[in-house]
């Protein structure tokens, strides 16, 4: 588990370096160093963007000190209010601000959260070199050192020799930020302090930065190379130039965090589909390919996106605008082809497997079903972008639709079947998934042995022996409703709430064994809304909250379900949470419990319990054959299991592994 805030420190400084080019400055190199063993990071570029001069309005403080040592200072603030603002998604207005930094915080926060922070810059216009260091989380300010640029000995450690070749005012400019994050102030998402490695780093072999966080930092440098692909800017990581010729090339070989094993499972040619690339009406760069089966199984996000060089890891309005257009086009193409196949046709420029398409049916696949099959790369340029928070993971800017408009040529290329002038494989993946759903629905409708089944006209038929009920089926997207839910036997029903669609597919596969009468399944998309500090009106308008309320049959918030007979009014008698055992899964479980505790707290006091959790081992240790010690259960969060031992948290596993028994 990596430390997001720690990785974000490097990201903020990298974005600052990229902003030079966004402001129209000269930039031909971006050099990043990640020294995991020493815990030192550095970012340098060859833009002469920092004037080594005292600012007359701030007590004669040098400009570099203002930019890196004082909050709310910088060059990326909005133009004066009198200026005419362009559209949010447009970068062409004369006063457009298309930088990643907006509010003068980013690099200064890296300074505050570091034990040592040094900025070095050369100013060829004035023939000066500048260096200043802060320590102890910016409390210890050292006075700046300013020397002539032609003082080779003094300037040698401030910039690469080729960046200041020639000396004096003729030399090129170079700015470098070098800092040591205060890892003791950070904790991993699972709660383990990032300083654990640093505390043990008295041994030279122990790195100060943990491997997962370093991996994210390295990926961020590759992201910067992708954003700069096709330009004359050279990006280096630890002295090695990164070769990213285009965004399409980056998309073709891209592997998302956590999908390395999945990529291996996909085979040597993991990306068999053709990657299609193009630009939107607003000049955004796009690349699209089919998501591999391994990536889907690993729960990989459906988009890799950037806004003005910022990695928006949770997407946002720019991704939604592009993804919706692509999904609608692919869904329409699959629906048209399936109608032709079902009618015995095949003309009209269609393609694909006719036998497969005939199983899809006449209705179009949903846009959500299409989005699950594609991996989208978006490099957007947005004027004065608005983000959900300082982490800038989610773009919230409105008015980006015009810039996000996808040209017809690109829409056609993404939706085309194989053999029809190219094809990405997305058409076939969507058709195959729709055909599987059609076959499953047909099998469920056929039923077997007179058991409960869905009835016609939106209702449900009764089960054998009077066990069923005539409760109406809910029209909730992605819900696989229990057949008895909302009927006379609803108290026997259990709703399985899963973490995403792939986990739901596993749950539904299990229902084929235990039956669909008393079990339903519903996937949660991403993180549920944290309702603790929001109003009731906002909470009940949330799509996920409203869906759960309908599915469970929850009444007015505050309803006391401990009263006699009140529990029987629910559509489901139990709620089972099926989330991963990692920190994300625990977070989602906590948000679900938070929802119930906020508006229906009596559900958490019921006996027998209303909420249960399906818990699976996170790690299982199995003793080697041939005389190896056998693991024994008991204590520490682990349990014995047929000669092996199961652990339900990494802390429990690590404690056992360090013990004499596990060693």
Q: Same domain, yes or no, for 328 and 414?
A: yes
Q: Domain with 112 in it: what CATH number?
A: 3.30.565.10
Q: Same domain, yes or no, for 396 and 511?
A: no
Query: Torsion angle, CA of 155/158/161/166, rounded to 10 degrees?
Result: -50
Query: Who's near 348: CB < 8 A, 6+ residues apart?
Result: 336, 340
Q: Where are the alpha helices (DSSP H) in 228-366?
A: 247-253, 260-265, 293-297, 317-342, 354-358
pTM given for the model: 0.60
Q: Same domain, yes or no, for 251 and 228?
A: no
Q: Where are the alpha helices (DSSP H) in 134-230?
A: 152-155, 195-199, 211-227
Q: Same domain, yes or no, for 233 and 293?
A: no
Q: Do residues 250 and 244 lie in contact, with contact meaning Cβ atoms separated by under 8 Å?
A: yes
Tell which wins on pLDDT, 70 or 382.
Answer: 382
Going by C-alpha positions, the residue among 341, 378, 375 that lies closest to residue 359 is 341
- Residue 628 resides in a domain: no
- Residue 630 resides in a domain: no
Query: Who's near 331: CB < 8 A, 6+ residues apart?
Result: 364, 365, 366, 367, 369, 370, 430
Q: Same domain, yes or no, for 431 and 517?
A: no
Q: What's the rounded Cα separation, in Å, for the pair 70 and 201? A: 32
Average pLDDT of the segment spanning 269-274: 52
Range scoring the smallest mean pLDDT among 327-331, 452-456, 458-462, 483-487 = 452-456
- Residue 191 resides in a domain: yes
Q: Do residues 122 and 50 lie in contact, with contact meaning Cβ atoms separated by under 8 Å?
A: no
The single-letter DSSP state of residue 183 is G
Q: Same domain, yes or no, for 61 and 186?
A: yes
How many Å from the N-terminal Cα to the C-terminal Cα in the chain? 23
Q: What's the rounded Cα separation, in Å, for the pair 342 and 330? A: 18
Q: Same domain, yes or no, for 500 and 366?
A: no
Q: Where are the alpha helices (DSSP H) in 1-86?
A: 4-22, 63-69
Q: What's the rounded Cα separation, in Å, for the pair 346 and 350? A: 6
Average pLDDT of the segment spanning 286-306: 82
Which residue bears the tokens 């910022």?
310
Range scoring the smallest mean pLDDT among 238-242, 438-442, 487-491 = 438-442
- Strand-pair partners of 303: 376
- Residue 620 resides in a domain: no
Q: Same domain, yes or no, for 527 and 417?
A: no
Tell which wins on pLDDT, 297 or 283.
Answer: 283
Query: Is the four-CA dihedral 629, 630, 631, 633 of positive or negative sign?
Result: negative
Q: Same domain, yes or no, for 288 and 397?
A: yes
Statement: residue 459 has pLDDT above 60:
no
pLDDT of res. 165: 47
Query: Who's near 16: CB < 8 A, 6+ residues apart?
Result: 43, 100, 101, 106, 107, 177
pLDDT in tens, 589-618: 899 999 998 888 999 999 899 999 888 777
Tell which wins on pLDDT, 332 or 350.
Answer: 332
Range scoring the smallest mean pLDDT among 178-182, 405-409, 429-433, 548-552 = 429-433
What the block records as the tokens of 592 is 């679900």
The single-letter DSSP state of residue 556 is S
- Residue 140 resides in a domain: yes
- Residue 83 resides in a domain: no
Q: Same domain, yes or no, for 216 and 280?
A: no
How do 494-499 and 574-578 pair as beta strands? parallel
pLDDT of res. 234: 93
- Residue 540 resides in a domain: yes
Q: Which domain holds residue 307?
A: 247-256+273-341+360-441
Q: Do residues 115 and 39 lie in contact, with contact meaning Cβ atoms separated by under 8 Å?
A: no
Confidence of residue 76 (pLDDT cuts 50, 70, 90): very low
Tell which wins on pLDDT, 92 or 63.
Answer: 63
Query: Is the four-CA dihedral 509, 511, 516, 522 of positive or negative sign?
Result: negative
Q: Do residues 58 and 76 lie in contact, with contact meaning Cβ atoms separated by under 8 Å?
A: no
Q: What's the rounded Cα separation, in Å, for the pair 277 and 293? A: 21
pLDDT in tens, 567-588: 989 999 999 998 877 777 888 8
Tell which wins on pLDDT, 106 or 629.
Answer: 106
Tell which wins on pLDDT, 503 or 487.
Answer: 487
Q: Same domain, yes or no, for 104 and 208?
A: yes
Statement: residue 460 has pLDDT above 80:
no
Statement: residue 134 has pLDDT above 70:
yes
Q: Same domain, yes or no, for 237 and 251?
A: no
- What region, left, alpha or beta, does residue 565 occupy, with left being phi > 0 and alpha being psi -120 to 50 degrees? left
Number of domains composing the chain = 3
Q: Domain with 364 in it: what CATH number?
A: 3.30.230.10
Peptide bond into 376 cis (omega under 30): no
Q: Domain with 505 in it: what CATH number?
A: 3.40.50.670
- Residue 514 resides in a domain: yes
């Amino acid at each position: 588990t990596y430390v997001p805030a720690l990785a974000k420190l490097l990201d903020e400084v990298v974005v600052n370096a990229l902003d030079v080019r966004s402001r129209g400055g000269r930039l031909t190199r971006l050099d990043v160093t990640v020294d995991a063993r020493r815990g030192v990071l550095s970012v340098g570029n060859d833009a002469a963007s920092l004037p080594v001069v005292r600012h007359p309005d701030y007590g004669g403080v040098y400009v570099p000190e203002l930019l890196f040592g004082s909050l709310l200072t910088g060059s990326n603030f909005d133009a004066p209010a009198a200026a005419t603002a362009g559209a949010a998604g447009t970068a062409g207005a004369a006063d457009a601000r298309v930088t990643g930094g907006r509010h003068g915080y980013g690099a200064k926060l890296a300074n505050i959260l570091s034990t040592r922070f040094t900025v070095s810059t050369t100013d060829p216009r004035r023939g000066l070199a500048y260096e200043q260091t802060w320590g102890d989380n910016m409390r210890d300010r050292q006075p700046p050192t300013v020397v002539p640029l032609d003082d080779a000995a003094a300037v040698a450690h401030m910039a690469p020799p080729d960046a200041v070749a020639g000396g004096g005012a003729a030399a090129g400019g170079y700015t470098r930020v070098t800092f040591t994050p205060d890892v003791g102030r950070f904790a991993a998402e699972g709660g383990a302090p990032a300083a654990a490695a640093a505390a043990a780093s008295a041994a030279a072999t122990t790195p100060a930065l943990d491997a997962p966080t370093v991996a994210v930092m390295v990926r961020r440098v590759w992201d910067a190379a992708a954003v700069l692909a096709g330009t004359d800017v050279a990006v280096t990581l630890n002295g090695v130039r990164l070769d990213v010729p285009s965004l399409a090339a980056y998309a073709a070989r891209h592997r998302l965090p956590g999908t390395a094993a999945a990529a291996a499972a996909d085979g040597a040619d993991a990306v068999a589909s053709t990657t299609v690339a193009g630009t939107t009406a607003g000049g955004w760069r796009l690349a699209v390919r089919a998501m591999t089966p391994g990536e889907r199984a690993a729960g990989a996000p459906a988009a890799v996106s950037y806004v003005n060089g910022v990695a928006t890891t949770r997407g946002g309005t720019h991704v939604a605008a592009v993804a919706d257009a692509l999904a609608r086009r692919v869904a329409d193409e699959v629906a048209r082809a399936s109608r032709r196949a079902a009618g015995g046709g095949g003309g009209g420029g269609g393609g694909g497997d006719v036998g497969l398409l005939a199983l899809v049916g006449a209705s179009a696949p949903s846009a959500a079903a299409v989005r699950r099959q594609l991996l989208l790369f978006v490099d957007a340029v947005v004027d004065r972008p608005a983000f959900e928070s300082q982490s800038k993971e989610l773009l919230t800017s409105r008015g980006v639709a015009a810039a996000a408009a996808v040209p017809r040529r690109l829409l056609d290329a993404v939706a085309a079947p194989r053999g029809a002038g190219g094809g990405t494989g997305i058409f076939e993946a969507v058709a195959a998934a729709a055909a599987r759903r059609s076959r499953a629905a047909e099998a469920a409708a056929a039923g077997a042995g007179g058991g409960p089944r869905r009835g016609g006209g939106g209702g449900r038929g009764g089960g054998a022996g009077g066990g069923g009920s005539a409760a109406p089926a809910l029209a909730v997207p992605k819900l696989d409703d229990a057949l008895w839910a909302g009927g006379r036997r609803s108290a026997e029903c259990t709703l399985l709430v899963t973490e995403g669609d792939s986990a739901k597919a596993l749950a539904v596969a299990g229902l084929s064994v235990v039956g669909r009468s008393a079990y339903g399944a519903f996937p949660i998309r991403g993180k549920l809304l944290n309702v603790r500090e929001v109003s009731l009106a906002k909470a009940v308008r949330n799509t996920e909250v409203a869906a759960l309320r309908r599915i469970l049959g929850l009444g007015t918030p505050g309803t006391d379900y401990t009263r006699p007979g009140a529990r029987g009014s629910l559509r489901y008698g139990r709620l089972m949470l099926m989330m991963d055992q990692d920190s994300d899964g625990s977070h989602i479980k906590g948000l679900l419990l938070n929802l119930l505790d906020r508006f229906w707290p009596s559900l958490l006091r019921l006996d027998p319990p209303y909420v249960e959790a399906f818990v699976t081992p996170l790690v299982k240790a199995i003793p080697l054959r041939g005389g190896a010690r056998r693991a024994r259960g008991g204590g520490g969060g682990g349990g014995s299991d047929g000669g092996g031992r199961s652990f339900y948290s990494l802390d429990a596993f690590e404690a056992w592994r360090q013990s004499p028994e596990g060693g």
